[in-house]
Structure 1
Amino acid sequence: MTSNSPLQPTLGELFATLTQQIQSLLRGEVALLKAQVKEKGQKMGLGIGLFVGAAVLAGVAGLVLVATAILALALVLPAWLAALIVAVVFLLIAAVLALVGKKQLDAANQVKPAIKDNIQQDITIVKEGLK
């Protein structure tokens, strides 16, 4: 029993309306996301700039502390030996950090995102909802 009454839309018209509404919803969500990201980016810009400035100054202070350590050791050892000892200590620290970082990267590579499974699950839910 199909009726061409203007008050009862056809199945095709219902699907067309549903498609348009889904597209409008997705466009709206994307627009909202863009606006939120833009606003957050603007607010974070100054904070990030200040953190970068602080990091640069902390780096300079770290270099001064390294020079201080070398000069302090140079009071009891030859200057070249003091510099060598400080350099070796930093190389050892760097090696430890590199090994820990490599372990973290290896662990992260073992985690697989389930994007494909999530999309298939969403499609299944939509299909079941249309039945």
Structure 2
Amino acid sequence: MTYITDGRPSRRTDTSVGELVGQATEQLAALVRQELLLARTELAEKGKRAGRGGGLYGAAGAVAHVGLMALAATGVVALALVLPLWASALIVTAVLFAVAGGLALAGRKEFGRAAPPMPERAVESVKADIGEIKGRAER
């Protein structure tokens, strides 16, 4: 059977509502699977980068620790020129603990501000899909 729509001939397909709902369900399931795959891939990529970054931070921390020990020894020796050795070592130790306390407080504050890792592209894609589905459902 041929119908004319907008001046152009078209062929009408006899698709039942049940078949259309089945197709929509299949398409929605495929879309959800694709979005989950995107989220999984994005989180895996972020995890690898975070692992490499953490390793580099760890190496930098180890080297900095050795440097700090050398600096502390230098401070003790320099203060020992004007104070007894035990007093200069005690002063350097107190300064190091004060710095460590300040860094610990700053780190705690930053951890409190940290947001949980989110797969941003996948979330935006899902939002766009939902908007598209709602837009088509309203037609």
TM category (shorter chain) comes to 0.5 to 0.7
After TM superposition, the score normalised by the length of structure 2 is 0.57
**Distance across 2 between alignment mates of 1:24 and 1:74:** 74
Show structure 1 runs of 5+ residues with no match: 1-5, 112-117
Show structure 2 runs of 5+ residues with no match: 1-11, 116-122
Amino acid paired to 2:137 = L
**Aligned twin of 1:78:** 84
Shift of 1:68: 1.3
Q: Which has the higher strand share?
A: 2
Identify if the C-alpha distance between structure 1 residues 47 and 90 changes in structure 2 by more than 3 Å, giving closer, same or farther: closer
User: Which whole-Å deviations, capped at 9, do the CAs of 1:20-40 have from their partners, x for residues lacking one?
Assistant: 112212212332343455456
Shift of 1:127: 5.5
**Aligned twin of 2:74:** 68
**Distance across 1 between alignment mates of 2:26 and 2:44:** 27
Q: Which structure would you say has the larger RCO, counting Cα contacts within 8 Å and 6 or more residues apart?
A: 2
**Distance across 1 between alignment mates of 2:49 and 2:95:** 40
Q: How does 1:1-131 map to 2 (within 5 A)?
A: 7-38=13-44, 48-104=54-110, 108=113, 129-131=136-138
Q: Which has the higher helix share?
A: 1
**Distance across 1 between alignment mates of 2:50 and 2:106:** 30
After TM superposition, the score normalised by the length of structure 1 is 0.60
Identify if the C-alpha distance between structure 1 residues 39 and 93 changes in structure 2 by more than 3 Å, giving closer, same or farther: closer
Output the aligned Cα RMSD.
Answer: 3.6
Identity across aligned pairs (percent)?
Answer: 37
**Aligned twin of 1:3:** none
